[in-house]
């Protein structure tokens, strides 16, 4: 079986095109959506992500501020910046790139973000709204992007068994909540590093979502023939044949599973491009909601 390759670049471009129109309308009405992106330290992957987020804002006509703070920045200094951004009317969305350096208490920082500006959907108020299925909240961008991909390809979720490997607050848990919601109606199992017989459990999945951060962990024996595989992993592995000395692979061994699944998100070019598109969508949503007040 040759699987359908789920083209995240194309779906992300469609989302962005919709947003460009919305942003033009907002601007005509005197409202320019604004996003502040905060990076603490010099993690190379984080620097790339933050750069891509700011670039996407420019491409769509969203006002942005990039705050690149030194690794020694204290918790107090970071929180002070968050309070400043909370009070800035030009800024509708605030994002602190994860993971911060170890001396920063990330949860405490997130608690200081105004939930109405929490376009990452990490604040407990937004986590609660996701669980409550209150659509005024913000949902983390990566799982939101995964749902958008399934919808764009007409992949049904109702009555299906979805297995999500990974229980992070950024992807695994919100993904499971979205899939089990009354909108999607999947039956959901969350698996993790302590799950017994992980391959056997995954083989019962109609939709398998891999969000663990372990390169090519999902092998052929994890995948039921005909299953849909969503690979959230973005892992750098050494590769001396590449100019940069590394290449990017997912959490799924693509070559091993491609002959048995019915559809799969490739890495790169699957879920990755959707994260930023959904961040832009959340920023526009934040702008709209703040206009009303
Ligand atoms: N690090 C990896 N993914 C994300 C994300 O979606 N948001 C933030 N803030 N940091 C991340």
Single out the catalytic residue among 118, 120, 206, 253.
Answer: 120
Quick one: which atom of ligand 1 is closest to the CA of 141?
A: 6
120 carries an active-site annotation = yes
Confidence check: pLDDT of 69 > 80: yes
Name the DSSP class of 100: P
At 1, the pLDDT band (50, 70, 90 cuts) reads confident
Ligand 1 site, residue 104, Cβ cutoff 6 A: no
Q: Is 53 assigned a catalytic role?
A: yes
Cα–ligand 1 centroid distance for 279 (angstroms): 10
**Which residue's structure tokens are 């007409």?**
154
User: Does ligand 1 lie within 6 Å of residue 120's CB atom?
Assistant: yes
Q: Which of 50, 85, 94, 97 to mutate to test the pocket of ligand 1 (most atoms within 8 A of CB)?
A: 97
Query: Does the pLDDT value for residue 292 go beyond 90?
Result: no
Tell me, in angstroms, the distance from the centre of ligand 1 to residue 49's CA.
8
Which residue pairs, CB below 8 angstroms and at least 24 apart, start in 23-31?
23/60, 23/61, 23/62, 23/284, 24/61, 26/284, 26/287, 26/288, 26/291, 27/61, 31/287, 31/291
- Most distant pair of Cα atoms in the chain: their distance: 56
Convert the pLDDT of each residue in 2-52 to its tens digit: 999 999 999 999 999 999 999 999 999 999 999 999 999 999 999 999 999
How far, in Å, is the centroid of ligand 1 from the Cα of 38? 11
pLDDT band of 293, cuts 50, 70, 90:
low
């Amino acid at each position: 079986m040759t699987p359908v390759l789920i083209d995240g670049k194309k779906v992300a471009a469609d989302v962005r095109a919709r947003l460009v129109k919305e942003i033009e309308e907002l601007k005509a009405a005197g409202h320019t959506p604004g996003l502040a992106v905060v990076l603490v330290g010099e993690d190379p992957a984080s620097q790339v992500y933050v750069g891509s987020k700011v670039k996407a804002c420019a491409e769509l006509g969203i006002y942005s501020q990039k705050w690149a703070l030194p690794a020694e920045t204290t918790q107090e200094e970071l929180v002070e910046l968050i309070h400043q951004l909370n009070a800035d009317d030009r800024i509708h969305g605030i994002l602190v790139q994860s993971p911060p350096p170890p001396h920063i208490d990330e949860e405490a920082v997130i608690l200081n973000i105004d939930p109405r500006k929490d376009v990452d959907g990490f604040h407990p108020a937004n986590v609660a709204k996701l669980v409550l299925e209150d659509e005024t909240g913000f949902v983390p961008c990566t799982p939101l992007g995964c749902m958008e991909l399934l919808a764009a390809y007409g992949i049904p979720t109702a009555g299906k068994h979805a297995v999500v490997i990974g229980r992070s607050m950024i992807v695994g848990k919100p993904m499971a909540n979205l899939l089990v919601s009354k909108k999607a109606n999947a039956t959901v199992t969350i698996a993790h590093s302590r799950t017994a017989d992980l391959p056997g459990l995954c083989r019962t999945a109609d939709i398998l979502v891999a969000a663990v951060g372990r390169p090519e962990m999902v092998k052929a024996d994890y995948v039921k023939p005909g299953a849909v595989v969503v690979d959230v992993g973005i892992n750098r592995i050494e590769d001396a044949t590449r100019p940069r000395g590394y290449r990017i692979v997912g959490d799924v061994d693509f070559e091993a599973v491609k002959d048995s699944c019915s559809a799969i998100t490739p890495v790169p070019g699957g879920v990755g491009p959707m994260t930023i598109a959904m961040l832009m969508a959340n920023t526009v949503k934040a702008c709209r909601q703040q206009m009303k007040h």
